[in-house]
C-alpha cells in the first residue's frame, strides 16, 4: 500500500474563482510541479491546461505527471442548476477519463454568496434548512450517478470555506443524505481545520468514506487573527491562513497513520492556496512542502 503525492495549480494561485487571473503560463506551473518532486496533478480550472486530450497527454507525459482529478463547483442549493452542473461535470470528466483519471472533486459554488465569504472560518452549525439540504444532496447524487454511469468516474465531495458546506455539521448533513456508494468525501485538511474541525477526528468519524485527500495546513495563530479581525475568506488566504505544511495545527503524521490504518491506497494532493505578489514563492513552498512530506515518510 502506497500513498502517492501530487500537486495542483491552486498552489500557484490558479483558482476556479472569478476575477483572479492566472499569473503563470501553464508550462511554468507544470515544470515547477515536476521539478519539485510531484508525480501527479489535478486539472485546475477547465481551460487553464490544454483541453485537447492528446496535447495534454503529451505535456504531462514529458514531465512524468499523471492527471488525477478536477475540482468542479456547482450551485447545488439551486435545483434548477443541477442539470447544468451535471453537464459541466461530464464535460470536464470526458477529458479526465481520456487521460486515465478516476475522480471528479465536486464542490459547492463557493465564493458566490457574500455573507458566507465574509463569515468564513467563523461559522458553526449549518446555513441550510433540512429541505434545502435535501435539494443540495439530490444535486450531488444526480451528478455522481451521471459521471459514473457515463464515464466510470468516481465522485468525492469537497467541503470548502466560504460555501454552504464549510463546517463539520454541514459536511455531516450532506453525507447523511448523499448515496454512500456513489459519493465519498474529499478531506481537505486545511479547510476542515479553518472550518472548525480536526482532520484526524474526521477520518475516525467517516472511515473509508474518506476516499481522497487534499493536504493543506492551517495556521492557528493567523486563523485566530482573521477571526478576530473579521477577515473574509480571500483576505484570510492573502493573510496566509493556509501556511506551509508542518507549520500549522494539522497533525499530518496522524492523518497519514489514520489513512494507512484504513488501507488507503491512493493519492494525497498537496495544496497551499496562495495570493502573493512574489512570483517565485509558489515554487519555494512547493519544494518545502514536498521535503516536509518526505520527512514524515511520504516518498
Task: Give Rg (Cα) of the chain.
Answer: 18
pTM for the model stands at 0.97
**In the chain, which ranges are continuous DSSP H helix?**
26-35, 53-61, 82-98, 114-118, 130-151, 168-177, 189-194, 199-206, 220-228, 233-239, 252-261, 281-295
Look at residue 15 in the predicted model and tell me its pLDDT: 85
pLDDT band for position 166 (cuts 50, 70, 90)? very high
Average pLDDT over residues 164-183: 98
Query: Tens of pLDDT along 79-138?
Result: 999 999 999 999 999 999 999 999 999 999 999 999 999 999 999 999 999 999 999 999
* Mean pLDDT of the chain, nearest integer: 96
Q: Give the C-alpha separation, 125 to 148, whole Å.
A: 31
**Which domains are delineated in the chain?**
4-295 (3.20.20.150)
Is residue 66 pLDDT above 60, yes or no?
yes
Amino acid at each position: 500500500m502506497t500513498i502517492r503525492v501530487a500537486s495542483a495549480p491552486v498552489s500557484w494561485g490558479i483558482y476556479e474563482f472569478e476575477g483572479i487571473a492566472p499569473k503563470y503560463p501553464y508550462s511554468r506551473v507544470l515544470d515547477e510541479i515536476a521539478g519539485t518532486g510531484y508525480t501527479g496533478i489535478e486539472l485546475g480550472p477547465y481551460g487553464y491546461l490544454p483541453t485537447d486530450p492528446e496535447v495534454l497527454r503529451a505535456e504531462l507525459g514529458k514531465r512524468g505527471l499523471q492527471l488525477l482529478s478536477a475540482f468542479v463547483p456547482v450551485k447545488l442549493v439551486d435545483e434548477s442548476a443541477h442539470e447544468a452542473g451535471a453537464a459541466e461535470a461530464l464535460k470536464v470528466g470526458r477529458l479526465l477519463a481520456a487521460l486515465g483519471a478516476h475522480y471528479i472533486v465536486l464542490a459547492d459554488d463557493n465564493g458566490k454568496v457574500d455573507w458566507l465569504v465574509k463569515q468564513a472560518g467563523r461559522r458553526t452549525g449549518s446555513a441550510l434548512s433540512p429541505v434545502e439540504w435535501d435539494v443540495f444532496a439530490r444535486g450531488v447524487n444526480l451528478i455522481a450517478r451521471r459521471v459514473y454511469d457515463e464515464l466510470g468516474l468516481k465522485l468525492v465531495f469537497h467541503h470548502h470555506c466560504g460555501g454552504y458546506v464549510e463546517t463539520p455539521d454541514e459536511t455531516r448533513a450532506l453525507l447523511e443524505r448523499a448515496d454512500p456508494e456513489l459519493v465519498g468525501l474529499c478531506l481537505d485538511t486545511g479547510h476542515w481545520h479553518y472550518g472548525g474541525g480536526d482532520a484526524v477526528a474526521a477520518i475516525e468519524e467517516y472511515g473509508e468514506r474518506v476516499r481522497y485527500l487534499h493536504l493543506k495546513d492551517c495556521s492557528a495563530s493567523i486563523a485566530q487573527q482573521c477571526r478576530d479581525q473579521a477577515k473574509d475568506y480571500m483576505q484570510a488566504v492573502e493573510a496566509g491562513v493556509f501556511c506551509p505544511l508542518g507549520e500549522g495545527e494539522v497533525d499530518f503524521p496522524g492523518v497519514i497513520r489514520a489513512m494507512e490504518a484504513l488501507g488507503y491506497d491512493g493519492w494525497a494532493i498537496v495544496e497551499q492556496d496562495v495570493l502573493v505578489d512574489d512570483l517565485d514563492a509558489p515554487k519555494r513552498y512547493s519544494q518545502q512542502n514536498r521535503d516536509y512530506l518526505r520527512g514524515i515518510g511520504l516518498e
